[in-house]
Structures are given as structure tokens and as C-alpha cells.
Copies of this chain bind each other. A is one copy, B any other.
């Protein structure tokens, strides 16, 4: 965004100084400046948006008062990462940050366990740092209890940036690669497969259709999927 900030006042602070950065943005906006607070990816996803609301709450801001707010959505690290390795997010997925700097580790571990057991594709943010290396090892151990060792795992560092690096591995082997602060880890579900070097999680069309687009015998387009000749509980009686 260098061309967008040329000639403008830029306030930078480091990691762990997010509160000061959010406060500086709010203060300048209250003084009448037009302020943009930038996060990589989507500012609403592990970004600065939530913190701004907490600062506004702390100073007693009311919605009718200045500064006016506008939230601009962005492309998440999950989406950009996924687009570089295929279509791994084609079905239900979750995002979990492995950073325990602000969240107790037991809360994080419980989410990994639940996501693994319920067969979500799992996107891991902040998987490791120079100091923090054990969480990704523990995450691998938890997921491996529920999924095959050959489950596809993608590692993408610095998606769409200068030092972009992509590795396609699997659940038993991905820890052999370098994983750091700028890596996003995508762990496939039980239906995720690798095809010609792409990682794909199917939406489920083959449960219902042939690849000519015709419904399989016993299935009806636009109606609930019939499994073993029966409808699921929530579908029963609806037609």
C-alpha cells in the first residue's frame, strides 16, 4: 500500500503494542483526522477492529458521536492461502489461532479437539514463533487422533508477498518443514484429497450427481440428500 500512504502521517508500533496503536488511531480521529487503521488480511479476523471497539468502549464513546466508523472487509489469510494451494476450503472449516499470548492454552486445545473430531477443515493462524514452538506440535498430536496421517496439510508463508513459500505435505510429515509467525497452516478434513498437486475439499456433488450432472437414483435435485435410503432427522417431514 506504499502508494496509498505517500505523503501522509504514518503511525507504526511493534508487536504487543497493539493497544497503543489503537489508542493513537482513536485519539487522532477524535481530533478530527481521517484515520485508517490497517491490519494484514481482514482487520476483523484476529485484527485491530475488535480492539478499536474496546478502546471506544473504555473512553465512553457513543455511536451518534464522532468519530464515525467504517469497517472495510478484506481477504483473510485463510482465503489467500487456500487460493495458492487449490480449493481446500470447499466445505465447512474453522480458524484457530495457536497463539496463547492472549488466550489460555486449554481453550485453544479444546477447540482443536472439537474441530478435529467434527471433521472441519482447520486453518491454524499464528502456528509458531521463535519463542513459541510447542503449540503446533501439540495441535498435530490432537488432530492425528482423529485423522489419517496421509491427510493433506498445506503450509503457506507470506501469501502473495515477496517471500511467499508454499509446501504441500500431510499430517504425519508437515512438522518437518519450517513453520513460523508468517505461516498459515491448512489441515484437510477426512474428505480432502490431493489432485495434481492441488489440495481440494469437495462440496459433496458426487454424493448426489454423476459427473454428467444427472441425479443418482434415489436422489432429487433441490431436495435433502438421501443417505442409506433415509433422510436426516432435520429433513424428515419437510416435503
Residues of A within 8 A of B (CB): 15-20, 23, 42, 44-47, 49-58, 61-63, 71-76, 79-80, 82-84, 86-97, 100-111, 113-115, 117-120, 131-135, 137-138, 195-198, 200-209, 211-213, 221-225, 227, 231-235, 238-239
Contact = CB atoms under 8 A, between A and B. Distances in A.
A129 B101 CA distance: 42
A177 to B, nearest CB: 20
B134 A234 contact: yes
A211 B50 contact: no
Contacts of A58: 211
Q: How many copies does the complex hold?
A: 2
Contact of A205 (B54, B84, B201, B211): B54
A44 B82 contact: yes
A77 B189 CA distance: 21
A105 B235 CA distance: 7
Nearest to A228: B104
A225 B15 CA distance: 15
B118 A56 contact: no
Given A20-B213, A134-B234, A134-B238, A103 B44 contact: no
